Amino acid sequence: MSPFVESLTENVQTALERAGALCASVFVATPWNDAAPGILVQVGEGAPVPELAGLDEAIAFTRRTLASGDTLSAATLPACLTSEAPEGCLIPIPLLATLWPKLASQPGGAGALRRLADRSGSRPVAGWIGLRFPDRTWWKGLDRGHSEVVDLAGALAATYVSLYGILTDPVTGLPGRGELYGTLRAEIERARLRGLPFSLLFVNPSGLDETNARLGRRSGDALLREFVEHLHATLRRADTVMRYGGAVFALPLGDVTAEGARLVGEKLCRTVRDHAFLDGTVGLHCSVGIAALDPADPVGLEPLDLIRRADQALSVARRAPGGAVVLWQPDGRVARAEHLDRLLGIFTGQAERDYRNMGLLWEVLQALSVAQGTAGLAQAVVERMGTLLAPSKVGLFVSGKDALQLVAGLVRGPGGMVRLEADALTGDERALNERAFDARATRTLEADPAPSSSADVPRGHTATAVPLLAGERALGTLFLVGDADTMRLDASDAPLLNGVAAQLALALDREQLSERQRALDAQQQTQLRAELHSLRHALQQARFVFRSQVMSDLLATCRRVAGTDTTVLITGESGTGKEMLAHTLHQLSPRRAKPLVIVDCGAIPASLMDSELFGRERGAYTGAQQRAAGRLAQADGGTVFLDEIGELPLEVQAKLLRFVQEKTLTMVGGTRSQRVDVRIIAATNRDLEQEVREGRFREDLFYRLNVVRLRIPALRERPDDVLFLARHFVESMALQYQKPLRGLHPDAEQIIAGHHWPGNVRELQNTILQAVVLAEGELLTPDDFRLIDEARSRLEAHAAPGTAGAAPVVPAHAGSGLPLAAPAAVLPSAPTSALTSAPTSPLAAAPPSHDPSGFDEAWRALERELAVAVTLAADGSAPVGPPLGRWLSRDLVLEAFEQSGRVLARASVLAGLPDTTFARRLRQAESEAATTRTVESWEGVRVAIGAVLRAADRPAANLVSLADDLLLGLVVGRVPSKVSHAASLMGISLPTMKRRLEGRAAATVHVTT
């Protein structure tokens, strides 16, 4: 602090002389020093003003005045205050005010001002100038010297801020690295003279980076300050805490032995681990490295040696999980530990040299940040080195094919620094660079000053070559030659050169990698452009592919409707492309730049539908730990697509009606209405008018949604599109999966054109996809579509009269191509004892196969395992059974994904689902698997699912739907009169369960008649 005190003394003496006062005093606060919270300097004759008579009086007066808030505003110039002594006055100095003319003109203080101003809006730190005159006419003297006093106050403020920024850390207010060197030098000398021990602790708390990333810089700074307060509370009052750099704090402990330092470190680790920071939200642990000075040690240690030892011990402590306390030992185990601070040693405690070192590092880093290319980096660095170090030669070499190559260099001539040519290097200089490069270590060559020296280096010069290392690889060398009298560099600057070389090596390595990557990108650019052009051509820009007139009329209507905000209801069978039409409406609308949010009403459980649509407040229900916006709010400004709107529960329909009418919503658990600007598009494959008549859908909501209705015709209603779509799918999928296919065989086209396609475009796409993936020739033949004929033959075989044990058959399941057995409600249930050996309902009958050891056998095994699971669940005492239906769908999707090698396209073919549907179900399945647990008896079902998927003769069917129907038959057969229990076992809502039962009953009537 002596430079600061000297500056204060000079300033107050000048104020005394200019104002004509008898006595002058200056007081400034020193918040970085807990032991001395202020500095008071007095000069002149006579008694000072009473307010600044002593340090305690000055501190009390400052606090009292700050509390009143008078005259210390940063927005005004200081005003004089009358002292308690009538012949005295006081001039306040707001040391951090930005309107001081002198302060504003001082460079370099902005960083300190910014960080100090962050401190929770505290008032400016104040200082005072007190003047006492011979009599009560003091104002006359003040009039003569008031402007000079004001200028002095501004200069004092600038000096204060500058010294504060140099001597202290701006975040924590602790002394910085420069002060640490001076403290260590004094403590080491004191320990030697008095024969006392001394220890240095490096403390590094963990978790600070995570806090900065998670909570922001301000919270990270607050955590640092709280950690420092915890250190002060744990240590002795006389102990000093300093910030070495980053998150490393230095504790110089005088009169403390190595064992005592170890005990202190263990106490720190223990108390930090047990303390909860930031109001209990953050937990930390710390690592401690210790270097101890033994006064009996014959080897004299310098401050830098002690710092290296503490840093090496800390690097070892960091490797231990949960932190550790490590004492540096002279046996070499810790001494050989590689320290982590590459710039260790560039600060020497000598202000002029430290300023030069920091300036050089800053210049080099700035050059590296803006330069481009290897040559640009090299030229920028050698220019900075030539300016700041004044060498006679400076050059940068990089590794070439056969030898080091000079990339950039400068040589000092009569007119200054000029370009260094490679042929201007001497043989010794080239050899020096080669030796440093090969040895991966700095090499120096000093010429003999005698005239008889035969060295190739000029007399009195020193040449130094520093390798540029990126890990274990040497990228080149940094080379300097200079006269010892002119070049501002000596042997003690090795850490500086190593630090510069390390940063330069990182930049060169990054740039070389970038150059190689750019070259690779250039080679691939033509190929990528060609592939992209082909892919775009194959997939086309239009989402819809058609040639029929009915689809042309539909798209024309869609274009007319898209430009308005009218609510649209899209109807059509499953697989016709309702979601694709919603995408088209959104892309053609003025809202295309805003989000399109898709809500699958059939995939969200009824209990969660309210919060999914409208959002929830924190604490709205058990498990609602955070506030979450609903799907409607997420679509603000864009479009929301409500798919399968007919699946909405009646209680949610009422709330949705209010939103459709007023475009306002209230979150679950909330009280405040929120307005949302969104366009609504709804879709369903149900007859909503029939649903309204039967009381399952609100009539008022139906009319609100049915403003414009777009009906997508089934694929069988537009036969012109069947082959056109099939050829399009073959072309695009062949390109996507890199298959050498030229198209469809005429016989295959005949099969495709003659198929009914109950699953519409989705079934056609899925069938083509499976054929393309499994195809081996250039044309898709009828053999590639054998599963279509196989499904038909199975349908005929099941429907043929006289088949032993055959159950009546209903029409094929949509999109599956497979028959669905009749519902179990019309047939007697199997006895409980037969559950493990025989089907309990006709639904259990597996689709037949020509290979009895293939799919049929695996399907029957799945049925048996499901029967066991249903029996155990139905006989349980719990009023709500486990959701076996959701478990079954989830595990079938996950198993298909695993068996396909986690390739989405293969997995969707394996499960019999379209790519988009499988991807959505996979996300749901993975989410459920991470949050739910199944019972032990379910493991057998998982094994059976795997066997079904591995069967070579499995049908090209929607296995998820077939398995769900199989489970439904087993559940209905087990609990025929308990609809609510059956719904819980299927994992669906009660209204959905009733609709499924009604559908089964209708199918039964159709079959029996």
User: What are 252's strand-pairing partners?
Assistant: 200
User: Long-range pairs for 364-368 at CB < 8 Å and ≥24 separation?
Assistant: 364/500, 364/503, 364/504, 365/503, 368/503, 368/504, 368/507
Residue 179 token pair? 């002060």
The last residue of a domain, from among 689, 713, 737: 713
Confidence of residue 817 (pLDDT cuts 50, 70, 90): very low
Establish if 543 belongs to a structural domain: no
| Residue 396 to residue 374: CA distance in whole angstroms | 10
Establish if 833 belongs to a structural domain: yes
Q: What is the CA radius of gyration of the chain?
A: 42
Establish if 382 belongs to a structural domain: yes
The pLDDT value given to residue 67: 62
CATH number for 491: 3.30.450.40
* Buried-exposed string 958-977: b where 16+ CB fall within 10 A, e elsewhere: bbbbbbbbbbbbbbbbbbee
159 shares its domain with 196: no
User: What are 656's strand-pairing partners?
Assistant: none
Q: Which residue has the higher pLDDT, 174 or 731?
A: 731
| Residue 688 to residue 992: CA distance in whole angstroms | 15
Helix 2-19 / helix 138-167 crossing angle, nearest 10 deg: 170
380 shares its domain with 444: yes
Residue 506 has pLDDT above 70, yes or no: yes
Q: What is the mean pLDDT of residues 677-692?
A: 94
β-strand pairing of 639-643 with 596-600? parallel
The CA-atom distances, in angstroms, between 1009 and each of 795, 808, 810, 819 are: 18, 11, 12, 18
The CA-atom distances, in angstroms, between 984 and each of 188, 605, 881, 883, 992 are: 77, 11, 6, 6, 11
Establish if 172 belongs to a structural domain: no
Neighbours of 1008 (CB within 10 A): 9
Domain span including residue 739: 717-787
Q: Is the pTM of this model over 0.75?
A: no
Neighbours of 219 (CB within 10 A): 15
The CA-atom distances, in angstroms, between 29 and each of 35, 509, 949 are: 12, 48, 78
Half-sphere exposure of 830 (CA within 13 A, CB side): 21
Q: What is the mean pLDDT of residues 790-804?
A: 45
The pLDDT value given to residue 516: 81
Alpha-helical runs (H) found in 479-634? 494-539, 549-562, 578-588, 606-614, 631-634
The CA-atom distances, in angstroms, between 855 and each of 688, 814, 849, 950 are: 38, 20, 6, 8
| Residue 741 to residue 777: CA distance in whole angstroms | 7
Residue 928 token pair? 């459920």
458 shares its domain with 369: yes
Per the structure, the count of domains in the chain is 6
What tens digit of pLDDT does each residue of 728-750 get? 999 888 888 888 888 999 989 98
656 shares its domain with 683: yes
What tens digit of pLDDT does each residue of 374-410 get? 788 788 888 877 777 778 888 888 887 778 888 888 8
Confidence of residue 298 (pLDDT cuts 50, 70, 90): low
- Asked if residue 894 lies in contact with residue 929, where contact means CB atoms within 8 angstroms, the answer is yes
The pLDDT value given to residue 148: 58
Q: What is the mean pLDDT of residues 827-831?
A: 30
Element (H, E) at 446: strand 443-446
384 shares its domain with 506: yes
The last residue of a domain, from among 452, 484, 514: 514
Q: Which amino acid is at 852?
A: P
Establish if 337 belongs to a structural domain: no
What tens digit of pLDDT does each residue of 184-242 get? 888 888 888 888 889 999 999 987 777 777 777 788 888 888 898 889 888 887 788 98
What tens digit of pLDDT does each residue of 407-444 get? 888 888 887 788 888 888 888 888 888 888 888 777 87
129 shares its domain with 221: no
Q: What is the mean pLDDT of residues 98-112?
A: 35
Please enumerate in sequence order all residues whose Cβ is within 8 A of that of 947, keeping only pairs 6 or more positions apart, or say none.
Answer: 858, 861, 862
| Residue 174 to residue 180: CA distance in whole angstroms | 10
The pLDDT value given to residue 773: 85
Phi/psi region, residue 714 (left: phi>0; alpha: psi -120 to 50; beta: rest), is: beta
Residue 833 has pLDDT above 50, yes or no: no
| Residue 154 to residue 522: CA distance in whole angstroms | 59
What tens digit of pLDDT does each residue of 42-63 get? 888 888 999 988 888 888 888 7
Pick the closest to residue 769 from 812, 815, 715 (CA basis): 815
Max mean pLDDT among 137-146, 154-163, 300-309, 489-498 falls in 300-309
In 586-659 the beta strands, taken as DSSP E runs, fall at: 596-600, 639-643
| Residue 88 to residue 890: CA distance in whole angstroms | 87
Q: Reduced to 3 states, what is the DSSP secondary structure of residue 703?
A: helix
Q: Give percent helix, percent strand, percent coil of the chain, each to the nearest 5.
A: 50, 15, 35
* Least confident piece of the model among 86-95, 646-655, 909-918: 86-95
Establish if 223 belongs to a structural domain: yes
749 shares its domain with 700: no
- Asked if residue 535 lies in contact with residue 735, where contact means CB atoms within 8 angstroms, the answer is yes
Confidence of residue 21 (pLDDT cuts 50, 70, 90): confident
The last residue of a domain, from among 167, 188, 215: 167
DSSP string, 374-406: HHHHHHHHHHHHHHHH--SEEEEEEE-SSSEEE
Residue 839 has pLDDT above 80, yes or no: no
Establish if 810 belongs to a structural domain: no
| Residue 378 to residue 398: CA distance in whole angstroms | 9
Residue 640 has pLDDT above 90, yes or no: yes
Please count the residues of the chain.
1009
- Asked if residue 961 lies in contact with residue 858, where contact means CB atoms within 8 angstroms, the answer is no
Q: What is the mean pLDDT of residues 929-946?
A: 79
| Residue 8 to residue 156: CA distance in whole angstroms | 7
849 shares its domain with 991: yes
Angle at 34 between CA 33 and CA 36, to 5 degrees: 70
Place of tokens 């892919």: 535
| Residue 88 to residue 593: CA distance in whole angstroms | 71
CATH number for 121: 3.30.450
937 shares its domain with 832: yes
Max mean pLDDT among 88-102, 276-290, 535-549 falls in 276-290
834 shares its domain with 747: no
- Asked if residue 242 lies in contact with residue 231, where contact means CB atoms within 8 angstroms, the answer is no
Mean pLDDT for all residues in the chain: 76
What tens digit of pLDDT does each residue of 644-667 get? 999 898 888 998 999 999 999 999
DSSP string, 561-592: HHTS---EEEE--TTS-HHHHHHHHHHHSTTT
598 shares its domain with 634: yes
The pLDDT value given to residue 428: 84
Please enumerate in sequence order all residues whose Cβ is within 8 A of that of 643, keeping only pairs 6 or more positions apart, or say none.
Answer: 578, 579, 582, 598, 599, 600, 601, 602, 682, 683
Pick the closest to residue 247 from 181, 201, 202 (CA basis): 202
Residue 521 has pLDDT above 50, yes or no: yes
Establish if 581 belongs to a structural domain: yes
Report DSSP state, residue 168.
B
Place of tokens 């260094």: 420
Phi, psi of 161 (to 5 degrees): -65, -40
246 shares its domain with 303: yes
Q: Which residue has the higher pLDDT, 621 or 825?
A: 621
